Structure 1
Amino acid sequence: MGTEIYIISGFLGVGKTTLIQKMLKEAFQGEKVVLIENDFGEISVDAALLKSGGVEVKEISAGCICCSLSGDFVKALKDLLLRFHPDKIIIEPSGVGKLSDVMKACSDPRIVLHAKVKGKITVVDVKRCQMHLDNFGEFFEDQIRNADVVVFSRSESFPAKLGDGEKIVKKLNPQGRVLTKPWAQINTAELLNPQRQQHRLPGRCRHGHDEHNHDHRDHHSHDHNHHDHDHDHAHHSHDHAADCSHQEGCEHNSRAEDVFDTVTIRTKRVFDTEELKAKVVKMEDSAKGTILRAKGIVRGPKGYLNLQYLPGDIRITGCHARGDMLCIIGRNLNRQELCAIFSGE
């Protein structure tokens, strides 16, 4: 039996890494799992956090995956398959990556001999669902249209937004399964075997004609009209972005590099929680451009601090991973200004 591949997609800061940690703990314990992790930027904060939990992580950083894929990504994936012979591979594309690009990448003949995509899961922040659709439609819509399962994050905190969020998702992907309940109540089987779970729930699946007859074609997908993409899969490798326009078969319309800026800051400074929070507030209030996401690991008085920022939401917690790095993603960012705020390089 070949390796099973799971793609965990979703926009910036929606909780992909948290969902992966849930899957590792509840569904994949005792199995050999490799994570292919990609951050949009020079450093991978999520990879550092997952490595601290003992997961084998292969980082592929910065670029246009559907282009560099023809070389770097596919080669890296094949090397992982042959080197580790894992039971499972989890691919977490960048939050500004397209799920369709990942899917195309994994259809490479060198990959399908050894592995098969078993699940395409997209995480959607119920609080910011409409905002993401309005401002980043091309990326956001692609992640939803190509998913087997769409799972809402923060549903327990913003239950009043679930109705509108589910309408948006169902309009883009009427055949996908949508999970709206709090994550503590989600059985990982609902994520990994959506079709099987839906067949056990009478009335849950509202398209009762041919969709129920596709087991023999693609038993892992809940029929997104992608049966010809059984092994499709993409990731974001940012090393060869400049070559994108010269690559044959690069069909996507916009590249993340053309739409979003990323500023990577390294700092040796020791922050306490309140000081770090004050600097993030200063960044939010006065920094030029539009800041969509910031995350990082920095030194604290008694260890290391993990910063996770979305507009209006600052979370700072202690962590076991070590680091001296911050990554800020947005539009029209001023690197010099941001480095000055965080006393970084």
Structure 2
Amino acid sequence: MNEALKDIPVTLVTGLLGAGKTTLIDHLLEQRPAGQRWAVLVNEFSKTGVDGARLAREGVYVRELAGGCMGCTAAVALGVELNRLLREARPHRLLVEPTGLGHPMELLEQFRGENYREVLAPRATICLVDARRLAEPKFRDSPLWHQQWQSADVLLGSKADLWSPDDQAAFDALCASRPFLACGTAPASGGRFDPAWLDAPAGRERESDSDHAHHHHHDHDGQLQVHDLVFAADAIFDAEALPGVLRELGCERIKGSLQTAEGAMRIDATGNEVNIAPEQGAVANRLQVITHAQAEKQDLEARILAVAGRT
């Protein structure tokens, strides 16, 4: 690594599937000081990425690492892509978004390791959580989720405008469970992000963090299926019918972009919650689908295509 690359602040943005990591990074990039070059490394569990184009803008260098979590199955590729990104961007700051199935302590260990000890300077780790999911035993008891929030320095609640009083109480209890540097609400839910958090030092490694780092619980092994669905470029989808169809699929996570009669739309679904919003730029008619069920790719494609026509 070039000697001129030294002590680059790096912030890890974690959270399980659908927590709002890309939305937060998009917000942070909007606050980037003029004249600074920032780099973003995005990890997708599937073989193709879908978020890189959304984050790209002048002065921001984005690279996607697809095909597994960068802390485990894609660890070798991480080094290659990270080195290339740092050489090309020579950034003033690096933001890293692991897949929602990724283990943060494994990444932090790599960033603090011999290869990057002089190059990267880890800052406070940010973890996002939609407190509505804290009532779900599958979510609440997930070893991966426990590692994410226990390794975090800043805890942000996402989609708080949809929380019930019980959800707020669960989030408050989580905030009080350990000494976070800060707890708050993510900007997309009306909260504010203090830019000073980006330069806050990373918390010292806690004993529980080390235990999690060396006893990996890969929740996704053998349980989750990831499908990349690519549709014909001339397919036009029914924007009104899409939410119902996507809910019926019963998938853990769906994201991507589709062309509709109303224009290009960004698809972002977690469980039964489906959000469809106008998308800027070119649309590839592609979805990334993550499901717990033994769903067949052809069946998923056929059900979605049922609400599509041709131009």
User: How would you bin the TM-score normalised by the shorter chain?
Assistant: 0.7 to 0.9
Aligned residue among 157, 168, 178 for 1:162: 168
Deviates more, 1:294-303 or 1:116-125: 294-303
Cα displacement (A) at 1:270: 1.1
Aligned residue among 260, 272, 276 for 2:238: 272
Cα displacement (A) at 1:48: 2.6
2:3 corresponds to which residue?
A: none
1:14 and 2:19 equivalent?
A: yes
Q: Please tell me the residue identity of whatever aligns with 1:74.
A: G
Alpha-carbon RMSD across the aligned residues, in angstroms, is: 2.7
1:214 corresponds to which residue?
A: none
Cα displacement (A) at 1:120: 0.8
CA distance in 1, matches of 2:113, 2:62: 21
Aligned residue among 138, 142, 149 for 2:147: 142
Cα displacement (A) at 1:193: 4.6
CA distance in 1, matches of 2:170, 2:75: 39
Q: Deviations over 1:107-154 (max 9, x none)?
A: 232222222111210001111123276465111111101111111112
CA distance in 2, matches of 1:180, 1:312: 25
In structure 2, relative to structure 1, the CA distance for the partners of 1:45 and 1:297 (3 Å cut) is same
Alignment of 1:238-249 (within 5 A): none
Cα displacement (A) at 1:190: 5.3
1:293 and 2:253 equivalent?
A: yes
In structure 2, relative to structure 1, the CA distance for the partners of 1:110 and 1:170 (3 Å cut) is same
Q: Is the contact between residue 36 and residue 90 of structure 1 (CA under 8 Å) also seen in structure 2?
A: yes
Q: Is the contact between residue 37 and residue 59 of structure 2 (CA under 8 Å) also seen in structure 1?
A: no
Report the 3-state secondary structure (helix = DSSP H, G, I; strand = E; otherwise coil) of the residue aligned with 2:112: coil
Structure 1: runs of 5 or more not aligned: 195-219, 230-248, 285-290
CA distance in 2, matches of 1:67, 1:310: 24
Q: Please tell me the residue identity of whatever aligns with 1:304.
A: A
Cα displacement (A) at 1:281: 3.5
CA distance in 2, matches of 1:145, 1:155: 21
CA distance in 2, matches of 1:281, 1:126: 20
Cα displacement (A) at 1:54: 7.0
Q: Deviations over 1:221-249 (max 9, x none)?
A: 244538x99xxxxxxxxxxxxxxxxxxx9
Structure 2: runs of 5 or more not aligned: 1-5, 307-311
CA distance in 2, matches of 1:54, 1:257: 37
In structure 2, relative to structure 1, the CA distance for the partners of 1:132 and 1:28 (3 Å cut) is farther
Q: Please tell me the residue identity of whatever aligns with 1:84.
A: A
1:240 corresponds to which residue?
A: none
Alignment of 1:152-231 (within 5 A): 152-158=157-163, 160=165, 161-171=167-177, 174-181=178-185, 183=187, 184-189=190-195, 191-193=197-199, 220-225=201-206
Q: Is the contact between residue 97 and residue 256 of structure 1 (CA under 8 Å) also seen in structure 2?
A: no
CA distance in 2, matches of 1:148, 1:29: 27
Report the number of matched residues: 291
1:256 and 2:197 equivalent?
A: no
Q: Deviations over 1:135-191 (max 9, x none)?
A: 6511111110111111111223315112212323543xx121342346234133353
Q: Is the contact between residue 229 and residue 288 of structure 2 (CA under 8 Å) also seen in structure 1?
A: yes
Q: Please tell me the residue identity of whatever aligns with 2:184.
A: T
CA distance in 2, matches of 1:59, 1:32: 17
Q: Please tell me the residue identity of whatever aligns with 1:176.
A: F
Q: Is the contact between residue 130 and residue 157 of structure 2 (CA under 8 Å) also seen in structure 1?
A: yes
- TM-score of the superposition, structure 2-length normalised? 0.83
Q: Deviations over 1:175-212 (max 9, x none)?
A: 21342346234133353255xxxxxxxxxxxxxxxxxx
Q: Is the contact between residue 184 and residue 191 of structure 2 (CA under 8 Å) also seen in structure 1?
A: no
Q: Is the contact between residue 265 and residue 277 of structure 2 (CA under 8 Å) also seen in structure 1?
A: yes
Q: Is the contact between residue 9 and residue 95 of structure 1 (CA under 8 Å) also seen in structure 2?
A: yes
CA distance in 1, matches of 2:203, 2:214: 27
Which structure has greater helix proportion? Answer: 1
Deviates more, 1:101-110 or 1:250-259: 250-259
Q: Point out which structure has higher relative CO (alpha carbons under 8 A, 6+ apart).
A: 1
CA distance in 1, matches of 2:164, 2:204: 28
Cα displacement (A) at 1:61: 0.6
Cα displacement (A) at 1:24: 1.1
Q: Please tell me the residue identity of whatever aligns with 1:262.
A: V
Q: Is the contact between residue 52 and residue 320 of structure 1 (CA under 8 Å) also seen in structure 2?
A: no
Q: Is the contact between residue 133 and residue 141 of structure 1 (CA under 8 Å) also seen in structure 2?
A: no
Report the 3-state secondary structure (helix = DSSP H, G, I; strand = E; otherwise coil) of the residue aligned with 1:156: helix
